[in-house]
């Protein structure tokens, strides 16, 4: 459906987001992207989850993520995830 967009790689610390508008895929960066820096998208709906949960979600896409966040220590602690989950649940009325 979107052949050019499908070539953008995944990263758990992605620097861009996407949405559709009038049958067009819109890509927007949310940080300043340096010259020659790769633009990346998050393939999962919630990047602010723990490493094992991200791996489970990404396994359905047929790959093991090798981004810096997954290979190195996760910069977020379990309490960060719990805080985020509670905030997200309260905003969504759960």
Q: How does pLDDT run across 4-14, given as a tens digit for each residue? A: 777 888 888 88
Q: How confident is the model at residue 91 (pLDDT cuts 50, 70, 90)?
A: low
pTM for the model = 0.66
Query: In the CATH hierarchy, which fold is given to the domain comprising 5-91?
Result: Beta-clip-like (2.170.270)
Are 30 and 19 within 8 A, CB to CB? no
pLDDT digit string, tens, across residues 31-80: 899 999 999 988 887 777 788 888 888 888 888 888 888 888 666 666 66
Give Dmax over CA atoms of the chain in angstroms: 42
pLDDT reading at 90 higher than 70: no
Instruction: Single out the residue of 43, 35, 52 nearest to residue 12, CA to CA.
Output: 43
Q: What is the pLDDT of residue 78?
A: 65
Q: What is the pLDDT of residue 67?
A: 87
């Amino acid at each position: 459906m979107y052949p050019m967009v499908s070539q953008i790689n995944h990263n758990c610390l992605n620097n861009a987001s996407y949405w559709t508008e009038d049958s067009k895929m819109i890509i927007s960066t949310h940080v300043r992207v340096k010259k020659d820096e790769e633009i990346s998208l998050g393939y999962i709906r919630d990047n602010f989850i723990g490493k094992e949960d991200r791996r489970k979600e990404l396994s359905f896409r047929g790959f093991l993520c090798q981004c810096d966040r997954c290979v190195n220590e996760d910069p977020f602690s379990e309490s960060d995830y719990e805080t985020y989950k509670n905030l997200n649940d309260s905003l969504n009325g759960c």
